[in-house]
Amino acid sequence: MALIQKLVICGVGLIGGSFALALRRAGAVKRIVGVGRSPESLARAVARGVIDEAVTDWRSALDGADLVLLAMPVGQMDAVMAAMAPHLRPGTVVTDAGSTKRDVIEAVYRHLNAHIAHVVPAHPIAGAEKSGVEAAFASLYDGRKVVVTPLPENEPAAILRVREAWEACGAVIHEMPPQDHDRVFAAVSHLPHLLAFGLVHDLAGRANAEQLFGFAASGFRDFTRIAGSHPEMWRDICIANRQAVLAELDQYLAELAYLRALLLSGDGERLEQLFAEARRARNAWAEQYGAAAPTAE
């Protein structure tokens, strides 16, 4: 792939910072400029050598940029695109790392329509317990999936640029229509997060919360690990993808209604059958994907 002369990363946290470090590791980038809402965080990114320079205005940031990665929580996409639009040069390729795609694409049409040929949405399926630039590391994307959801208006060369950048980070590229992306991740990621947040919130509000937490064991620990996720990021994801998340939640509520009926009627046979089917599917998944499952999403 052609060397990236100037990479701009907006939101230099775990995701954006690791993209920078991975491209450096691959020798694929010459100069990296960071943009963001927290000057302190950007200064730490410079100090750690993740970015070469922190820039506060979009005009100078975008001057001569050949690739821009938007790696903020998706709730900020609209405002950021509006701010950068006037300064975006023809030919600069823009991509993002948002966990939802349809809302990001709406913002693209709204603000970056003039540059649509070069705006290629994507979503790296990777992450870690910790957030922030301190948590960034070069191998975060090794063997991880990146879902690219190209627009019909995209130039093939722009799509290729984005694919090659992620490949240089060690990732495996998948393409998918944005609506499929949002439905798939509502089911396997957004809903589980909502369910885990909900359970912990429910228990934490009980009069005997101390006692409950005192006897919680490793099943609870693993089930609720994702309830330790970043509240703002997950607020943005749930709001951005709420149509698909609501559809998944309603389907899950139907499943729970069925389970409730089996409990009420004491139907052990059907309960065991359902548990056995779930166990089979879960073990088959764990064998095929479990070992390679990213640390977080």
- Interacting positions 167-226 with a copy of itself (CB under 8 A): 180, 184-185, 187-189, 191-204, 206, 208-209, 211-226
What whole-number distance in Å separates Cα of residue 164 and Cα of residue 75?
27
DSSP label at residue 88: P
When the beta carbons of 132 and 192 are compared against a copy of itself, the nearer one is: 192
**Residue 172: CB minimum distance to a copy of itself, A:** 11
**Residue 168: CB minimum distance to a copy of itself, A:** 21
**Residue 135: CB minimum distance to a copy of itself, A:** 15
When the beta carbons of 53 and 250 are compared against a copy of itself, the nearer one is: 250
- Within positions 130 to 159, which residues make up the interface with a copy of itself, using CB under 8 A? 145, 147
Instruction: Please report whether residue 245 would count as binding a copy of itself according to CB under 8 A.
Output: yes
**Residue 203: CB minimum distance to a copy of itself, A:** 6
Say how many C-beta atoms besides its own lie within 10 A of residue 154's C-beta.
20
Residue 231 tokens read as 């509240």
- Within positions 108 to 127, which residues make up the interface with a copy of itself, using CB under 8 A? 125-126
CB 112 within 8 A of CB 82: no
Residue 264 tokens read as 């009420």
Q: How does strand 145-148 pair with strand 172-175?
A: parallel
Q: Which helix (H) or strand (E) holds 291?
A: none
Of 72, 88, 73, 82, whose CA–CA distance to 107 is shortest? 82
Looking up tokens 């396997």 gives 188
Instruction: Please report whether residue 286 would count as binding a copy of itself according to CB under 8 A.
Output: yes
**Residue 80: CB minimum distance to a copy of itself, A:** 17
Partners of residue 95 on adjacent β-strands: 69, 120
Binding part of the chain for a copy of itself, among 39-47, 63-71, 108-116, 279-287 by CB under 8 A, reads: 279-287
Q: How does strand 145-148 pair with strand 122-124?
A: antiparallel
# residues contacting a copy of itself (CB under 8 A): 94
Name which position in 5, 56, 139, 295 contacts a copy of itself (CB under 8 A): 295
- Within positions 87 to 106, which residues make up the interface with a copy of itself, using CB under 8 A? none
Residue 6 tokens read as 């100037």
Instruction: Please report whether residue 232 would count as binding a copy of itself according to CB under 8 A.
Output: yes
Instruction: Please report whether residue 35 would count as binding a copy of itself according to CB under 8 A.
Output: no
Residue 93 tokens read as 């390729």
When the beta carbons of 110 and 225 are compared against a copy of itself, the nearer one is: 225
Instruction: Please report whether residue 60 would count as binding a copy of itself according to CB under 8 A.
Output: no
Please give the sequence-ordered ranges of beta strands (E in DSSP) within the chain, or none if there are none.
Answer: 4-10, 29-35, 53-54, 67-70, 93-96, 119-120, 122-124, 145-148, 172-175
Binding part of the chain for a copy of itself, among 28-36, 77-85, 158-166, 240-248 by CB under 8 A, reads: 240-248
